[in-house]
Amino acid sequence: MKLIERRMYLDKIISVMGTPDIKVITGVRRCGKSKLLEAFKSYIEKEFPDSNIIHINFNLPEFDYLLKYRPLYDYVNKKYEDGKQNFVLIDEVQMCANFEKAINGLHSKEKYDIYITGSNAFLLSSDLATLFTGRTFEIKVYPFSFREYLQYFEDTDRYGAFERYMLEGGMAGSYLYKDQEAKYDYIADVFNTLIIRDIRQKYKIRNIQLMNQIVDFLMDNVSNLSSARSITNTLSSMKENVNHVTVSSYMQYLCNAFAFYRIRRYDIKGKKYLSSNDKYYLSDHTFRYAKLGTKNLDYGRVLENIVAMELLRRGYEVYAGVLYKKEIDFVAIRRSEKIYIQVSDQISDKTTFEREAAPLLQIKDAYPKMILSRTRHDESQYEGIRILDVADWLL
C-alpha cells in the first residue's frame, strides 16, 4: 500500500518526545494509527540511532505470548538498555488482558518513553484518566483530509479531485480497490466488522437490531438535530419497543468508538451551551454511502460533514450556532479565536445565498464569518462575510 507522511500528526508526537506522559494515539478503526506509530519509529531510528526501541505489535502472531499483562511487563523490562533512551511502542494494546497494569507499572519506573495505540472502544478518551495512573497525552488521528487525499493521488486539479473525495472519502484502505462498489464494500466492512464488533464486545450488547437502527437513523440524519428521545419516538412509531435511556447509551457508545462525533448547540446571543438536541457527524462521510447507498445523495450534508471533521482535525471546539431561532452551521472556537461558518452545496441562486448569509449578518461581534460552497471561484466578500470554495478552504 502506498504511504504518505502525515506530518501534522508526526510533528505532534515529536513535540512531546521525552515528556513523562503516556502518549495515546486514538481515532476510528483503520484511520492510520498503526502506520503513524511505524512512521514515528522510523523517525527515531533516523534521528536518534543510539536509542533503544521496544516495539510490540499485537496484530502479529509472534507477540501472542505477551497477551497477558505480566509477560508484557517482564518482556519490556528485559529489553531495557541502560544508558540509552528507551522507547516503548505498543500497537493494539487492548489485546493484552489487563494491559493498563503493565503500562502503569512501566510508567512508574520513570525510565521509558511510552506510546500506545488501541481499539477505541477499549481505549476511550473519557477512560484514559482512570485507566492510567500517570498523565496521558492524546494524539487524535482522523481519516485522510482532502489535503492528504491530494497528496496521496498527486493530483493538481483540486476541484476535480474534491468531487472524487466527496465520493471516496478518507479511509485510505479503500483506495486500493478500483471499483467504487468494492471501495464501499471495504468501508462497510470496516464499519460493521470492526467498529460495531468492538462496541458489542466492550459493552456486551445483545440488541444488535436496535444498534443498527440507531446507526441508520444517525447516518440518515447527519447534520440534522437529533436526540435520544427523537430517535426513540421514531422507532416507537414503527412499533419498536425501545427505551430512550438505552438509545442514549447506544449513541454514546458509537461516539466513544469515533464512529460519530457529537456537536452541541451554542446560543450565540446568550453565550451558553444548549442541552437539548445535538448534531451528529460521521468520522468519514463515506460510511453513510456504504451503509445507505448513494441514490439520494445529499451533497449539502456531505459537505457539512467534511467541514465538521476538518474543523475537529484543526483542533477547534465545534458547536452548532443558534441566534434568534436561526441556525448557523458551525461556531468554531480555538483559544481566543472564533469563526462562524455556513456551508451550502450551491449559492449561485440568489435566494439560497441570502438565506445562508442572513444569520451571519445578524451576528454583531467582530469575529470572522464565512460561507463555504462549491463555487469554483476565487475568494470574494459580501458585507464582511468571506465567500470561499470549500476545496480551497480545505487546502
Collapse the DSSP code of 71 into the 3-class scheme (helix H, G, I; strand E, B; otherwise coil) and give the result: helix
What are φ and ψ of residue 370, in 5° steps?
-150, 155
- What confidence tens digit (pLDDT) does each residue in 74-85 have? 999 999 999 999
Give me the residues paired with residue 273 across strands: 266
What angle do the packed helices 208-220 and 244-256 form, to 10 degrees? 70
User: The C-alpha cell of 307 is what?
Assistant: 467541514
pLDDT score, position 177: 95
Query: pLDDT tens across 8-52, in order?
Result: 999 999 999 999 999 999 988 889 999 999 999 999 999 999 999
How confident is residue 276, by pLDDT bands cut at 50, 70 and 90?
A: confident
CB 58 within 8 A of CB 65: no
Distance CA(92)–CA(119), nearest Å, equals 6
The answer, yes or no, to whether residue 374 has pLDDT greater than 70, is yes
Indicate whether 120 pLDDT > 70: no
Mean pLDDT of the chain: 91
User: What pLDDT sits at residue 121?
Assistant: 66
CB distance 163 to 262 below 8 Å: no
Secondary structure (DSSP) of 158-173: HHHHHHHHHHH-S-GG
Q: What percentage of the chain reaches a pLDDT higher than 90?
A: 69
Percent of the chain scoring above 70 in pLDDT: 97
Q: What is the pLDDT of residues 345-357, one digit of tens each?
A: 999 999 999 999 9
Q: For 276-294, what is the mean pLDDT?
A: 89
For the chain, which residues make up each domain, given as ranges?
7-140, 146-394
Strand partners, 53: 87
> Residue type for 252, please?
Q
Helix (H, G, I), strand (E, B) or coil at 321: strand
pLDDT at 57 over 70: yes
Q: Say whether pLDDT at 109 is over 90.
A: yes
Sign for the CA dihedral angle at 189, 190, 195, 200 comes to positive
Taking residues 98-114, report their average pLDDT.
95
DSSP 96: S
Structural fold of domain 7-140: Rossmann fold (3.40.50)
Query: What's the pLDDT at 310?
Result: 98
